[in-house]
Amino acid sequence: MSAGKKKSRPASRRWLYLAGVAVVLAAALVLLPVAARRVYPYEQRQTIERWAQEYGLDPLWVVAIIRTESSFRPAAVSPAGARGLMQLMPATAQWMAEKHALEYSEEMLLQPAYNVQLGCAYYAYLKERFPENEAALAAWNAGEGNVRRWQQAGKQMTRAEDIPYGETRRFVKKVKDAYEKYRWLYQSN
């Protein structure tokens, strides 16, 4: 009999261990998305979804651009002068405002809804010219003219690795990575 008891003790310990592992995994599955949403927030969600829909964009690409560009800081101003959530250059924003018959001032670029509206309009413009996300994002960062030159030089622009500028290549990779995280966290919500 004592041999039987020795066998049951390790089996019961294994069950306890496996039950403990199961509890930890279950908790991780619940807590991981909660923690990840703190790192990948979806601030200004209604505004982003409104303007993304208006311009025919996937809102998760827009939120990924915002996270990469400004970390959701509406008053962000880059050393180059880009402003607001989507880090729009004033000349580009003014051009988009005129193209869409909108009022414009540099100060308005710090207003989240206005910045997202113009940013979505501009990204939709780029997506019309560069259907591949990598090319459109590269144009967002490096300019439409540079992307056209790269394409004319034979760059396909279907992968971030195709982008000749290191800064732009890193930008595209960051946005794509953020997009994948946002899809995982918010696609079904």
Q: Is 128 a catalytic residue?
A: no
DSSP string, the chain: -HHHHHHHHHHHHHHHHHHHHHHHHHHHHHHHHHHHHHHS--TTHHHHHHHHHHTT--HHHHHHHHHHHHTT-TT-B-TT--BTTTTB-HHHHHHHHHHTT----GGGGGSHHHHHHHHHHHHHHHHHH--SHHHHHHHHHH-HHHHHHHHHTT---SSGGG-S-HHHHHHHHHHHHHHHHHHHHHTT-
Active-site pick, 49, 69, 106, 134: 69
| Residues tagged active-site | 69
